[in-house]
Amino acid sequence: MDSLFQNMQGIPMNHYLIFCSIIFVIGVIGVLIRRNVIIIMMSIELMLNSVNLLLAAFSAYSGDPSGQVFVFFIMALAAAEVAVGLAIIIMVYRNTKSVDIESLSKLRW
């Protein structure tokens, strides 16, 4: 475990920060411009996972395990969210025969 921490610390903190921010922004852009609901969900997962990586890096740098515990919370709740989300998408698909967000325009935005 200590050698893992040393390996992680071999890379400067700023690199982790910039890398995670880029992944997060890719996720945000994906949510905003893609029209397919499945791909939007994938983009949201990308956002959450960039947070996971960032927390793990911070935790390794400060030698404080609570950041890694938080990662487990995020994983568990993200899984719960995806389970509910896929169920909702199936429900929508049965009614509209489409997973395109444009097909849902009964309510005005």
Partner 1 sequence: MSAIITLSLLGILILYLGLYKAKNALLPVSILGLVAALGLEIYAWNQTAEPLYKGMVLFDHFALSFSIVCISLTILILFLSKEYFKAISDNIAEYYTLILFSLTGALMVCSYHNFAMLFIGLEIMSVALYILVGIRRKDKASNEASLKYFLMGAFSTGFLLFGIALLYGSTGSFDLAAIKQYILDNPTSVSPMFYAGILLLLVGLCFKVGVAPFHFWTPDVYDGAPILITSFMSTVVKIASFAGFLRLFSTVLVPLNEFWTPVLMTVVIITLFVGNISALMQTSFKRMMAYSSISQAGYMLFAILSIGPNSASGILTYSMAYGLASVIAFGALILVKRHVGSDQFESFNGLGKTNPGLAFAVTVGMLSLAGIPLTAGFIGKFMMFSNVMNDYHTVLLVLAAINAAIGVYYYLRVVVHMYFMKPSEEPVVSLPINFKVVFIVAVILTIILGVYPNAVIALI
Chain positions contacting partner 1, by CB under 8 A:
17, 24, 27-28, 31, 37, 40-41, 44, 47-48, 50-51, 54-55, 58, 62, 64, 66-67, 69-70, 73-74, 77, 80-81, 84-85, 87-89, 91-92, 95-96, 104, 106-109
Distance in angstroms (rounded) separating the CA atoms of residues 58 and 100: 38
To partner 1, the closest distance from the beta carbon of 32 in angstroms equals 9
Give CA 35 to chain center in angstroms. 18
- 66-96 and 37-62 helices, crossing angle to 10°: 180
- In the complex with partner 1, the residue whose CB is nearer, 1 or 107, is 107
Phi first, then psi, for residue 36 (nearest 5°) are: -85, 130
Beta bridge partners of 100: 36
Q: What does the block give as tokens for 99? A: 């997973």
Residue 27 neighbours by CB distance under 10 Å: 21
- In the complex with partner 1, the residue whose CB is nearer, 6 or 77, is 77
To partner 1, the closest distance from the beta carbon of 96 in angstroms equals 7
To partner 1, the closest distance from the beta carbon of 15 in angstroms equals 13
